[in-house]
Structure formats: C-alpha cells, structure tokens
C-alpha cells in the first residue's frame, strides 16, 4: 500500500513502506517526453535529462553528484521515453535523505552550463550513431515509424543528429520551465521510511517551486497513410524484423486481457512463437512479442532475428501464430498465462525501485494507482471469451505493419506475406 500527499504547489509525493527492506528507492517522474516536443526540436527531453547530472547549485560537478550517491554504494540513473522522464536512485537506508536532496537539486537547481551542454551534445549524437549501427535497435525505430508515421509517437525519443545539433540552451531552459513544474511531477519513494519525514524534507526543498502551465502533448492520428513494409537494406549476417499492430492505451480496461494474449503469443520460452519458430521449425534463435501502452494508444510488436534466407518462412509463421489468436483458446493455456503473468508481477514487487516506479508511473500518467492485488484480481477474472473479444479488436489484416533491417530490397514480396 502507498500513502499520498499533494503539497500546496501541486507536487505529488508517494511513499510505500517496506518494513524489512535495507534499500530505499527514490524516483522523480516528470511529464516530459518526445510527445511534448515540436519536430524541429526532437530529442529535447532526452537532451535535458542528461544535463542535471553535470552539476547543481549544491553539488556543482558531476563528480560530486556521483560521489554522494555512488560513493556510498548506491546507484543512480535517468531515462526518457515518449511521455515521461525519470530520475532515480537506489541507496542503503542510512543515505536516502542525502540522496533525495541530490535528486531534488538536480531538477530544481541544475547549473545548465553551456560548456557542459556542448560536451553532452557530442555524447548524445554518438549515442544516436550507435543506435543506427545496431540492427536490433534500428528495427524498433522503424516499426514505430510506420505504426505512427509523421508524428511524435513514431519519432526516436533521442531525436536525430540534426535536431540534437540545433537544440540551444534557451530551448532547454524554456522547455524545463514549462515541463519541470510541480503539477507535472511525481516523487515516489519506497523502502523502510516514514511518509511524514519524506514529505517534510521534500516540502522544505521545493516549497518555493512555482507552477507553470505545461505544454500539451501530441495526440495520435491514424489518418496518415504509411506503407505496410519498411526496409533498411544493409549487409548483415542476420535479418532483424518486427511485425507490429496498433494496441491499447493506458486508459483501456482491455489492456490487461491483451497482456495475457501477448503472454500466450510470445512472452517466454513456452509461448506459441518461441515453440513454433525456434523449437519446432528452427527458424529463429530469438523471437518474442511485447505490448506497449501509452496515454491514447498502444502497440503489439513481435521481434524476430533470423537468417536472411529464412526471413519469408519466419514472417509466414509469425503471421500464422498471430492469426491463431483469433481462434478459441483453451482454458489450460489461459490458466498458464495468467499464472505466469501474476508470478512476474509479484516478483517485481520484491524490488524497491520497481515498487516506486509502479506507483509513480501510474500517478503521473493516469492520475490513479491500481495496487498489485487489484491487478491480480482483474487478471483472475479474464476468461476465454475476453481473449477472443480483444483478439478481434486488435488483430486485423489491414493493420499489420512490417519493419526489416537486413539484406533485402523488395517490399512487395513481404507485403504479400502479411495477408491471412
């Protein structure tokens, strides 16, 4: 269970008390991601995420920040996706108050030194080049691009070499002033801690943090026409491919049923895709499926790595396995998927960082928090009729998209393979 306090400035503070834990995890989640950026400044949220680590008013160098947390055995990092940026650390309990002070200073009082910004620009551009060099990462970008063409959802969160080059210090400062505001931020802390102590410390550091209206995020549009197949032709020993379908949003109650369907389809070694493509046919070493849920949209994506001469057979088998989800599913297979999913959820809750992330992410993106017991109860109530209904919602021949990275050049051949 969690406790929640909303401060006078709108900042939401969540704590989860775990009595026997020796660690404390702290997450500061901000509504800042690629869906809030104009296309000419793509990558701005990610760029900004890097800069607070370079120094703050109280800890003016990257080394001092690192020594304060990592120097006592803790770990810290940050991440940016389409809808949020998260700064986090995990430390032993005796050090959590100092670590919380560091994270607060990072988002409230970063130095944003122009010289350090130029250094990070080079780092980020090199990070992007590395992504383009890895086919398994590049194919993820391609499938997003054709699922959501010419819009924020389809762009790389990191931007491009050119857009990162064009981002100025004033762009960063303006964006931070809008997005890094108390109403747009959630702080979640998990461990053997006292809620009132945490709230008082955060209030002391942030009481003067004034609110400002956040930028709006770009809604998804499905009116843009895009090709069904996109190929990045390059000489690789292995072909990397993704088959994608539009999925369900964070607001859709059927998202839990889709998660169970995904488990049956391609999550784990006992899934249909793994058993069929790897164990039975020997077409692929690595094959899996996953779902992604966002504010107003989602996706179901199947990834496969295979030899170039086996790619057509692999696509046929993947499409066949997806189509098979439209047929009645046995109670035995459903029961196994439900137990697998519940087990994974419960194991996640052994980690303080996962617990803090569970509450913080839901609070920021949906304004409500389902606890584990509630989700387990929802999963228990899913039946085979629910699976059939949701499969019919999601799986349709006209929705299939295919991204390929490898030595291939003819989209028409592959497009035919997507037909039922």
Q: What is the pLDDT of residue 222?
A: 82
State pLDDT tens for residues 311-320. Answer: 999 999 999 9
Taken as a whole, the chain contains a residue count of: 420
Closest CA to 33 of 221, 216, 252: 216
Q: Considering the chain, what percentage of its residues have pLDDT values greater than 90?
A: 97
Band of pLDDT at residue 212, cut at 50, 70 and 90: confident
Strand 239-246's sheet: what is its strand order? 229-233, 401-406, 239-246, 298-306, 284-293
Which helix (H) or strand (E) is 348 found in, with range? Answer: helix 331-348
For the domain covering 2-206, report its CATH number.
Answer: 3.30.830.10
Residue 225 pLDDT exceeds 80? no
Place 246 in a pLDDT band, splitting at 50, 70 and 90.
very high
Q: Return the higher-pLDDT residue of 229 and 222.
A: 229
Question: Are 390 and 309 in contact, with CB atoms under 8 Å apart?
Answer: no
Give the architecture (CATH level 2) of 229-417: 2-Layer Sandwich (3.30)
Q: What is the mean pLDDT of residues 154-176?
A: 98
Report residue 224's pLDDT band, with 50, 70 and 90 as the boundaries: low
Cα(342)–Cα(43) distance, integer angstroms: 35
264-285 residue pLDDT tens: 999 999 999 999 999 999 999 9
All CATH 3.30.830.10 domain ranges of the chain, comma separated, are: 2-206, 229-417
- Pair 128, 161: CB distance under 8 Å: yes
Give per-residue pLDDT as tens, 111-148.
999 999 999 999 999 999 999 999 999 999 999 999 99
DSSP string, 156-204: -TT--HHHHHH--HHHHHHHHHHHSSGGGEEEEEEES--HHHHHHHHHH
Long-range contacts of 279-285 (CB under 8 A, 24+ apart): 281/313, 281/317, 283/310, 283/313, 283/314, 283/317, 284/310, 284/314
């Amino acid at each position: 269970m969690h406790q929640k306090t909303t401060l006078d400035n709108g900042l939401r503070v969540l704590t989860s008390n775990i009595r026997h834990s020796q660690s404390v995890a702290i997450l500061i989640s901000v509504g800042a991601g690629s869906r809030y950026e104009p296309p000419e400044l793509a990558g701005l949220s990610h760029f900004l995420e890097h800069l607070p680590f370079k120094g703050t008013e109280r800890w003016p160098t990257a080394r001092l920040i690192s020594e304060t947390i990592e120097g006592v055995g803790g770990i810290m990092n940050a991440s940016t996706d389409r809808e949020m940026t998260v700064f986090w650390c995990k430390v032993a309990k005796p050090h959590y108050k100092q670590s919380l002070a560091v994270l607060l200073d990072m988002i409230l009082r970063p130095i944003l030194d122009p010289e350090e910004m130029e250094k990070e620009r080079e780092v980020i551009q090199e990070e992007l080049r590395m992504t383009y060099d890895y086919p398994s990462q590049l194919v993820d970008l391609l499938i997003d691009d054709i699922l959501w063409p010419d819009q924020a959802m389809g762009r790389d969160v990191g931007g491009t070499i050119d857009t990162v080059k064009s981002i100025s210090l004033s762009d960063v400062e303006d964006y931070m002033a809008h997005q890094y505001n108390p109403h747009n931020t959630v702080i979640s802390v998990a461990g053997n801690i006292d809620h009132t102590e945490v709230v008082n410390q955060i209030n002391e550091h942030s009481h003067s943090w004034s609110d400002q209206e956040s930028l709006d995020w770009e809604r998804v549009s499905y009116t843009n026409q895009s090709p069904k197949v996109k190929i990045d032709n390059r000489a690789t020993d292995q072909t990397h491919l993704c088959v994608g379908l539009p999925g369900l949003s964070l607001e859709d109650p059927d998202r839990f049923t889709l998660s169970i369907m995904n488990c049956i389809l391609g999550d784990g070694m006992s899934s249909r895709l793994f058993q069929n493509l790897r164990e039975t046919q020997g077409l692929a070493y690595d094959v899996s499926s996953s779902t992604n849920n966002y504010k107003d949209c989602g996706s179901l994506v199947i990834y496969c790595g295979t030899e170039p001469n086996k790619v057509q057979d692999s696509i046929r088998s993947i499409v066949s396995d997806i189509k098979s989800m439209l047929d009645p599913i046995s109670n035995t297979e459903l029961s196994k998927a439900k137990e697998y999913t519940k087990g994974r959820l419960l194991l996640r809750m052994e980690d303080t960082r996962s617990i803090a992330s569970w509450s913080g992410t839901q609070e920021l993106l949906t304004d409500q928090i389902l606890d584990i017991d509630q989700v387990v109860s929802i999963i228990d109530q899913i039946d085979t009729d629910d699976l059939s209904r949701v499969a019919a919602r999601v799986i349709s021949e006209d929705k299939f998209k295919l991204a390929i990275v490898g030595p291939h050049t003819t989209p028409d051949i592959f497009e035919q393979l997507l037909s039922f």
